[in-house]
Amino acid sequence: MIDKKAIRVALVGRPNTGKSSLFNRLTGLRQKVGNYPGVTMEKTMGLSKWAPGVLAEIIDLPGIYSLHASSVDEQVVMDSLLNDDVGEKIDVVIGLADGTNLKTCLFVFTQIIDLGIPAVLAITMTDQMERRGMELQVSDLSESLGVPISLINARSGQGIDQLRADVLKATSSSKGPFFQPGGLHLQWVNQVDQDHDFNSVYKSWLYGLSSTVYSDLINNTGRTPARVRADEAIKRYRVVNDWLRQFFHTDPGKDRRWTARLDKWIVNPIWGSVILFGLLFIIFQALFYGSETPMNFIDDQFAHLSNFLSGILPSSFLSHLITNGIIPGISGVLIFIPQIALLFGFIALLEESGYMARVVFIMDRFMRPFGLSGKSVVPMVSGTACAIPAIMSTRNMENSRERWLAIAVTPLITCAARLPVYALLISLVIPDQSFFGMSLRGLVLFGLYLIGFVTALLGSALLTKIMPTAKVNPFLLEMPSYRLPQLKNVAHAILNRTKSFVSEAGKIILAISVVLWFFASFGPGKAPDFNQDYVAIPIEDSYVGKMGKAIEPVMKPLGFDWKVSIAVLSSFVAREVFVGTMATLYSVDDNEKSSIREQMAKQKNPVTGEPYFNLAVGVSLLLFYAFAMQCMSTYAVVARETRSHKFAAIQFLILGILAYGAAFLAYSALA
Amino acid sequence: MYLSDLKVGQKAIVLQASISLPVKLYEMGCMPGEEIELNYAAPFSGPMCFLVQGTSISMRKELAELVPITDPNIKSLQNDR
């Protein structure tokens, strides 16, 4: 039954004001993650029963510095607050203000009040205010704002009941508006109001300034929209400063002491780099080795389940679809959870503690020449484990252009799935020699990692050059005070990210996996024998086999014969499948790497009679795997994160061309 | 004088710019008439972090080069008086 009294409550405030802590407090575990219409931003909502018959839907809006949209985050907040549609309209806004940084928080809150939406103010970080000797005359400020204020501590839950009570009887501010458009702007504001029926001067003002439709009218006033917004900011700060001068008392010496002390080390050019690289190294190690055991466990359990079911189910199309198509597909989705959970746990810790802003600060200088900022460091490093969590981690980037760049180049970073392929091929074609005291094979492997990083960075630089930007976001970043991370928030972040991966990208991965199973098991006019002893059709007769043979002429300039072409095609499931497919093609019974290697080493080139896997073929294959986006899960996650199959398809195509070109050049040079 | 000329720990007052600066700068609290201090700067002309209106804001040097300020040395003389 849908409760008629469900009220929609939005949390609005600057970043780092303890918004997610309050959200988790207000909703508990009943959260769901969705997307804002039209943008890739994630939105978290939660239902909570507040009183008998009163249900509240809490919406966690992104942190913003102003209601005027300079970033996607701000656009989302503005759109949500201007939306009057049934089922979308926000009934009450809880404005958040960090008590230790009231001035800039109140600036945003006065904008919220001027919208005319019922609002209440929640002041957070009250424990820190006390510790730093800050005093606020709450009732005086509340009277000036014309809305109730509750002092809350999300950690202990103090003040939450008061806040709920305030929300239930919230009204529009009895004071305000705190800013009114001057006479020369009234004409265009009225025009916006007429066109869109906002019935609110400030809503029309916000909308008009954000829309290009009205820029001519606004420019007619002799001021640019940017200038108009700046004037508004100055006027609002004047009002806020006036309040704080009367109602807020602080001892400036005590302020920001800890943060300043920690920053001496953390942003120090030498120590800061040591700390940063130490942390990145720990994250890298954890993603690589910490996820190994749970990943093997998931793999084994699903293999057992598959074996068990094929043992008890009668052999049929359906049972094989389940045991060889669906179960491996589900396993292929769940296998990423350990890495996703670990990476997002680390990211949440970095964000919560305030360290992430310092990472951006330290690394910005190095990433800048490539069109990226310091924020891209996290996806680049986690990409060495797996592109899936790495691409998901770009969600933390406010700058949508940089985010797209990072998504575009991350699949080039050498991920863990390439390692088995590299290991097999390197041991096959690179002699076991030492080179200036270093293992030649080790050097080649290192070189492949280097190629991945360098192409990713150069690719980003190139894309920056050729892709024109309409709107350049200035690099402006708040450096929050350091704070002890709340484990509850970290847990929520992990849970929400994992849920959204499984429910969204998971669907695509499962579907592709089933389709690929069909293509590998069936052929034109051929089907496996589903009788008691299941007899698979030879892989060369399957659709994948036929495709492999069909593309042989295309792959020939790279030195790939039809067997290698089939293995390359089937690698689209995941790169490491190359090894297994080679084993099937050369009729190696077990997946023992050494025996596959021996079989492959025995293959002769039918023309020359020399071993087929020579240096030229080997290097060509290595480079192909270094560049090609042969991973359906990466495709799925890119399509989901960019909300665009076109983006993922173009990326797949360009990386494919790059792979082909590099392999072709290498083969031509070495053959 | 511009923000980029400040040394670590030096304070100055932000002046009205003659060109149009990103509005976000104003909205984050960095606006004419406010006192601003350089907290720290990254090496090799990397980003700079300023304290203004109780908030620490980092920006790239190229933006700091556009924000006019009072001469920090003259300002301290005024304070002494």
Check A479 against B57: CB less than 8 A apart.
yes
Q: How many CB atoms lie within 10 A of CB A115?
A: 26
Range of the domain at B31: 3-80
Check A70 against B43: CB less than 8 A apart.
no
User: pTM (2 decimals)?
Assistant: 0.81
Q: Which residues in chain A show pLDDT less than 50?
A: 1-3, 589-591
Strand, coil or helix: what is B29? coil
Strand, coil or helix: what is A345? helix
Which residues make Cβ contacts (< 8 Å) with residue A648, sequence separation at least 6?
Answer: A635, A636, A638, A639, A642
Q: Tell me: is residue A61 an annotated ligand-binding position.
A: yes
Q: Which residues from chain B sit within 8 angstroms of residue A103, using beta carbons?
A: 29, 53-55
Question: What ipTM describes this predicted complex?
Answer: 0.91
Residues paired with residue A54 on neighbouring β-strands, in sequence order: A51
Determine the Cα–Cα distance for residues A325 and A600; give it in Å rounded to an integer. 28
Q: What share of chain B is helix, strand, coil (3-state, %, to 5)?
A: 25, 30, 45
Residue A473 confidence (pLDDT): 66
Determine the Cα–Cα distance for residues A2 and A4; give it in Å rounded to an integer. 6
Q: Which member of A263, A267, A478 has the closest CB to residue B57? A: A478
Check B60 against A475: CB less than 8 A apart.
yes
From B56's Cα to the closest Cα of chain A, the distance in A is 5
Separation of first and last alpha carbons in chain A: 72
Buried b (16+ CB within 10 A) or exposed e, A1-26: eeeeebbbbbbbbbbbbbbbbbbbbb
* Structural contact between residues A64 and A108, judged by C-beta atoms closer than 8 angstroms: yes
Strand, coil or helix: what is A533? coil
Q: Could you say which residues from 45 to 64 on chain B have a Cβ atom under 8 Å away from some Cβ of chain A? A: 45-47, 49, 51, 53-60, 63
Which residues make Cβ contacts (< 8 Å) with residue A241, sequence separation at least 6?
Answer: A103
Determine the Cα–Cα distance for residues A94 and A99; give it in Å rounded to an integer. 15
Q: Report residue A343: phi and psi, to 5°.
A: -65, -45
Check A234 against B31: CB less than 8 A apart.
yes
Check A65 against B22: CB less than 8 A apart.
no
Residue A506 confidence (pLDDT): 84
Residue A3 confidence (pLDDT): 47
Q: Does B26 touch chain A (CB under 8 A)?
A: yes
- The residue of A101, A235, A251, A365 whose CB has the most chain B CBs within 10 angstroms, and thus the best one to mutate to test that interface, is A365
Buried b (16+ CB within 10 A) or exposed e, B40-59: bbbeeebbbbbbbbbbbbbb
Quick: pLDDT tens for A480-498: 888 888 888 899 889 988 8
What the block records as the tokens of A325 is 């198509």
Which residues make Cβ contacts (< 8 Å) with residue A423, sequence separation at least 6?
Answer: A445, A593
Residue A666 confidence (pLDDT): 96
Quick: pLDDT tens for A324-370: 888 888 888 898 899 889 988 998 898 889 898 899 899 999 998 99
Check A476 against B47: CB less than 8 A apart.
no
Counts for chain B of helices (H) and strands (E), in that order: 3, 4
Architecture of domain A7-178+240-249: 3-Layer(aba) Sandwich (3.40)
Distances (CA, A) of B45 to A361, B9, B48: 12, 17, 8
Quick: pLDDT tens for A82-105: 988 877 899 999 999 999 889 999
Residue A470 confidence (pLDDT): 53
Q: Which member of A255, A474, A479 has the closest CB to residue B63? A: A474
Provide the residue type at A322 as one letter.
Answer: I
Q: Tell me: is residue A459 an annotated ligand-binding position.
A: no
Closest alpha carbon within chain A to B43: A269
Distances (CA, A) of A173 to A170, A244, A334: 9, 19, 49
Report H helices in A522-644: 543-550, 552-555, 562-570, 577-585, 593-602, 615-627, 632-642
Which residues make Cβ contacts (< 8 Å) with residue B46, sequence separation at least 6?
Answer: A361, A362, A364, A365, B60, B61
Strands (E) located in A30-91: 31-35, 42-51, 54-60
Reading chain B (81 residues) residue by residue, the pLDDT tens digits are 999 999 999 999 999 988 888 888 998 889 899 999 999 999 899 999 999 988 899 999 999 999 999 998 875 544 443
Provide the residue type at A360 as one letter.
Answer: V
User: For chain A, which residues make up each domain, given as ranges?
Assistant: 7-178+240-249, 181-223
**DSSP string over A355-384:** HHHHHHHHHHHHHGGGT--GGGHHHHHHTT
What the block records as the tokens of A424 is 């097999």
Residue A415 confidence (pLDDT): 87
Strand, coil or helix: what is A522? coil
From A25's Cα to the closest Cα of chain B, the distance in A is 26
- Whichever domain contains B9, its CATH number is 2.30.30.90
Residue A392 confidence (pLDDT): 85
Residue B65 confidence (pLDDT): 95
Residues in chain B: 81
User: Based on the number of CB atoms within 10 Å of its own CB, is A595 exposed (0-12), middle (13-18) or buried (19 or more)?
Assistant: middle
* Structural contact between residues A426 and A439, judged by C-beta atoms closer than 8 angstroms: no
Q: Which member of A70, A260, A364 has the closest CB to residue B46? A: A364
Q: Report residue A4: phi and psi, to 5°.
A: -70, -25
Residue B3 confidence (pLDDT): 95
Separation of first and last alpha carbons in chain B: 22
- Total number of domains constituting chain B: 1
